[in-house]
Amino acid sequence: MVALLATAVLLSGCSGEPGPTVDPAAPALPDGWIGALVADPTAFGRVTGDARGAWVALHHGDLTTAAQGFGQGIGAHRAWREQAELHGDLAELSGWTWTALHAEWTAQDPTVADGPLTLLAALAAADAGDAEGARALAAALPPAQQSLVDELLAAGRADVAEADVDVPDLDDGGCLGAALAARLSADGVELPAGCDGSAPLALGEGEARFHDPLLHGTLARSAARSAEDALGQSWPERIAASGAGLDDLVFGVFWTDADLAAYLADPRATLSLDEIAGWTADGATSDDPQQARDQARRLDAALDAWAAARRDGASDDGRALLDDLKLVPQVRARTLERWARQALHNGRPHQALAWLQMAVDLESARELGPINRPSLYALLAQARARTGRTREALDALAVLEPAVPEVHALTETLGDLVVLQGMRRQGDSKEH
Amino acid sequence: MQSILRIRPVGLALALAVTSAPAAADPLRYAEDQAPGIVNPLFTSTMSEARLGELVFEGLYTDDLDLRTAPDLAESAELSVDRTELVIRLRKDVSWHDGEPFTADDVVFTIQAMKDQGTASTEAGRVAWIDSAEVVDSHTVRLRFGRPEASPEDKLFFKILPKHRFDGTAVKRTDPFRNKPVGTGPFALDRYNDDGSITLRRYEQHRDAAGLPEIVMREVSDKNYQAKLLLYESLEALVRVLPRDLAMLDKDRGVELYPYQTNSWWYLGFNLNGGPWADPRVRQAIGHMVDKEALLAPIGTGDTVTGPFVPSSPFYNHEVKARAVSAGQASALLEEAGYKKVEGVWTRAGKPLTLRISAHKSLESAQEVVINLQSQLQRQGLTVEVDFMDEASWRGKVWRDRDFDVVLSQWSFDRNEDVREQFHSQGSRNFTGYASAETDKLLDEARDAIDPQQKKAALRKLHAQVHDDAPMVFLWTLDSYSAMRTRVDDVVVHPFYFFTWADDWTLD
């Protein structure tokens, strides 16, 4: 049995309060691996076995350690996939930030457009998949640089098997050129040492100090490739032949066999929450945060009832496992995260913000952990930025930076935007 | 203002029995640690005053939900080609809470009152850039600036006052308006209640009639008691929750938590206007004696800071290292400054080094911090006295008479994190008397920068400079959340002023 954390009542059910009620529209949620472990908590020790350290790292959101600890297989795949997703989310924020920075800065000082800002913003937009924005920015660039943006956009498409690109010398100290080469080549996506976003690009004397706009997109693709490599061929074949074991579900964080099967059929189903997500998907077209909060409360009611039922039939160890490992709050947070990502993609950042704020575990709001996954803070930063809360987006990145030091580059770029946005405003301060 | 009858935990059962389970038409009741000392935007100095002012008053411009500048009392504006003149057309569908029409006279009066040295407004700095304001017609004003302004609307957020309620532009802090405010906002101050609470009622003539019929501000100085009142539904909202209460409130499905980030940091501010604290070595020595982590631990989670910004700020200088907690380094600095330790007490010319720590009574957890700090410093040979002040004493002793050794307090900033008024030698909020030519130069450079990276660089240097000069011991920043019952719907909280969009809120 894993060393259990200090007991805490994490779900509703404080003595004397009414029990959770279930929305009649809610489906009966499956037992899944969480139910299996609660029913037989001794299985947890058997499942984690030698991989206990790697599982603990994965559980706490330390994805690099988890990937190294698992080495190969579904656990390593899971850790790499989460990193790919994290850097993909950060690449989207990077694209948004560079585009906004370009707009704000050139509005205040049109001469800035003569420097590298426009090219970097166009590359960042392309990296985030914003083809329209990237092309609009690239329109002001010389033809060779326009081509570069086009090629980067093309390289992001699945149907481009290989790109043969002559990367121009950008005199940037090597990192941007290396990132471009990595992105536009089929050979690999590894960045040279030192290209970790800790230092600005060297773009010439007297120029503003800009950071690599392609860093997160490149890291996302590198992690995705590692995820693929970690899984190999044998694991899917074994699952297909003999079905999934409990360890596959626990390490892969698939709630049920059906979720795992769905993932194998379509890896874009990145989390095992289709059933919940499908039940509560509202097809919202407005960006109303109150509607988002109401939807989250329906989710809470269903999960509370599910957890209470599992707890009723469980041993003390089973209940402790459920509570101390925060298993149900994890499911809740990942569901909210998933809804938020969809909302961001569908242009509903206020709803995304509402869900993400509700997802944060306030017992340790400034730390990553089982609920506060790295991607939660990446999405929170994006939702805040896109709702005008750029200064608060920096708070979210600050939580991320100790564990993901590459975020420093984006923090500096977003910081430039925050400062620009405030330069024409009147500051205010008060006591207490 | 009426005397405050603070509600104490002793009366919890009775209070709950009387006030719980409000009906749907009942008011939204929120708690402040300290009731606003004054409801006059000319003299707003605390967050509780700013929050109440946000409900009662309006500015020419405000933030929209995406924090973009949007017209409020203004309808439209035209900037001259040379950007030194702005003509603003005002809304004509606005009236004051006493029924009088809102006109251009009110705008001009407000600017003149803020600039009038006889007023001594705490907000004077917010209009210093406006050279003149004149009435064009009943609903049009013209503002002229000393130098070109790229986007002057972004600076016109200050609250507008009714000219007809004042005798002239030199307004005294004691003017009766302070507790009989008349604004144009969505809520009008209705009454001061016997229990010290303040009731605001919806102003029905407001162009966007608010969803809430009434709002009641209750002063509840005990944070634990605040949390209990919320859990037992005797309040609908807490403006700020202590970090240590967050997890408890988060578990209650009837409570929703909203981040309320005010970029706040705590500090110990020395009186530099003479005495031992004018010597930077003595201040630096105190810096080496203070164990911030030990002071912070009992009051909750947060980040310690080394300068006048929170760590996530673009201006925070992460290369500045915190002063080590070190008796040896503190001793070396005090000896260099001429002090000797005699029988365990630091003395100079036979007199013990005595430190009086002053704190506002309403500062959350201040008593806990001060008592621990007193213990830390006494153990290291200082004689320490403690002085907890009410609002009147704080204004008089700290702000007017500069009668203090060191204060424990907190500054909160909007997203601009502009510390000029606190650290410039001429700053209106620089009550410590700090004056440094280098710091002034950096603040001027930051103010005048048109390149954000230059501004960042200047303020990061300033961070290092004030850390070295140590006019303050910079302590920490705390996680900041507000809490509301889930029956309060449609809530969006402004990151600084909190109630900016409260007219959209509703109660189930």
Backbone torsions φ then ψ of B474, nearest 5 degrees: -80, 130
| Among B68, B303, B455, beta carbon nearest to A423 | B455
Only one residue has tokens 């049995």, namely A1
**Of B156, B162, B139, the residue nearest B79 (C-alpha):** B156
B253 with A12: Cβ contact below 8 A: yes
C-alpha–C-alpha distance, residues B425 and B154, integer Å: 26
C-alpha–C-alpha distance, residues A398 and B302, integer Å: 13
Q: Which residues of B touch A424 (CB under 8 A)?
A: 149-151, 154-155
pLDDT for the residue numbered A186? 58
C-alpha–C-alpha distance, residues B210 and B197, integer Å: 21
Return the number of other C-beta atoms located less than 10 Å from residue A364's C-beta: 16
Contact B97, B182 (CB under 8 A): yes
**Of B280, B288, B272, B267, the residue nearest B382 (C-alpha):** B288
Q: Give tens-digit pLDDT for A194-203.
A: 788 888 877 6
B414 with A429: Cβ contact below 8 A: yes
Only one residue has tokens 């945060």, namely A289
C-alpha–C-alpha distance, residues A303 and A316, integer Å: 20
| Among B363, B416, B495, beta carbon nearest to A425 | B416
- Rounded to a whole number of angstroms, the distance from the CA of B335 to the nearest CA of chain A is 35
CB pairs under 8 A between A and B: 168
Higher-pLDDT residue of B33, A8: B33
Mean pLDDT across chain B, nearest whole number?
A: 91
Domains contained in chain B, CATH given: 9-40+185-261+480-507 (3.40.190.10), 61-165 (3.90.76.10), 264-478 (3.10.105.10)
Segments of chain B scoring below 70 in pLDDT: 1-24
**What is the SS3 string spanning A75-123?**
HHHHHHHHHHHHHHHHHHHHHHHHHHHHHHHHHHCHHHHHCCHHHHHHH
Higher-pLDDT residue of A72, B440: B440
Max Cα–Cα distance, chain B, nearest Å: 75
Q: Give tens-digit pLDDT for A315-365.
A: 999 999 999 999 999 989 988 998 899 899 999 999 999 999 999 998 888
C-alpha–C-alpha distance, residues B493 and B54, integer Å: 12
B479 with A366: Cβ contact below 8 A: yes
pLDDT for the residue numbered A157? 47
B65 with A388: Cβ contact below 8 A: yes
C-alpha–C-alpha distance, residues B508 and B505, integer Å: 10
Residue A262 in this model has a pLDDT that exceeds 80: no
- Rounded to a whole number of angstroms, the distance from the CA of A214 to the nearest CA of chain B is 20
pLDDT for the residue numbered B44? 92
**Of A270, A258, A216, the residue nearest A95 (C-alpha):** A216
Between helix A143-155 and helix A117-127 the angle, nearest 10°, is 20
Q: What is the mean pLDDT of residues A115-133?
A: 91
| Among B66, B154, B413, beta carbon nearest to A388 | B66
Residue A6 in this model has a pLDDT that exceeds 50: no
C-alpha–C-alpha distance, residues A7 and A14, integer Å: 14
pLDDT for the residue numbered B253? 93
Contact A406, A195 (CB under 8 A): no
pLDDT for the residue numbered A207? 64
Residue A170's region, left for phi above 0, alpha for psi from -120 to 50, else beta, is alpha
Return the number of other C-beta atoms located less than 10 Å from residue A169's C-beta: 6
B187-192 β-sheet, strand order? B187-192, B198-202, B214-219, B28-32, B237-241, B481-485, B255-259
Contact A275, A262 (CB under 8 A): no
C-alpha–C-alpha distance, residues B508 and B499, integer Å: 19
Q: What percent of chain A has pLDDT over 70?
A: 82
Q: Which two tokens stand for residue B93?
A: 């569908």
pLDDT for the residue numbered B471? 97
Contact B15, B234 (CB under 8 A): yes
Q: From A109, which residue of chain B is nearest by alpha-carbon distance?
A: B450
pLDDT for the residue numbered B102? 98
pLDDT for the residue numbered A161? 35
Label residue A31 by pLDDT band (50, 70, 90).
confident
Q: Which two tokens stand for residue B139?
A: 């609903």
Distances (CA, A) of A240 to A75, A249, A251, A263, A271: 18, 14, 17, 12, 19
pLDDT for the residue numbered A189? 64
Q: Which of B38, B241, B312 to mutate to test the interface with A (most CBs of A within 10 A)?
A: B312
Q: Which residues of A touch B256 (CB under 8 A)?
A: 293, 358
Label residue A18 by pLDDT band (50, 70, 90).
very low
Return the number of other C-beta atoms located less than 10 Å from residue B359's C-beta: 24
Contact B285, B337 (CB under 8 A): yes
Residue A163 in this model has a pLDDT that exceeds 50: no
Q: What is the mean pLDDT of residues A413-421?
A: 96
Cβ burial of B129 (10 Å; 0-12, 13-18, 19+) is: middle
Q: Which residues of B touch A9 (CB under 8 A)?
A: 251
pLDDT for the residue numbered A270? 47
| SS3 of residue A294 by DSSP | helix
B252 with A12: Cβ contact below 8 A: yes
C-alpha–C-alpha distance, residues B34 and B23, integer Å: 27
pLDDT for the residue numbered A366? 86
Q: From B125, which residue of chain A is nearest by alpha-carbon distance?
A: A426
- Rounded to a whole number of angstroms, the distance from the CA of B413 to the nearest CA of chain A is 4
Q: Give tens-digit pLDDT for A297-315.
A: 988 988 898 899 999 989 9
C-alpha–C-alpha distance, residues A94 and A215, integer Å: 9
The conformation of residue B172, written as its DSSP 8-state character, comes to -
| SS3 of residue B110 by DSSP | helix
- Rounded to a whole number of angstroms, the distance from the CA of B252 to the nearest CA of chain A is 7
| SS3 of residue A32 by DSSP | helix
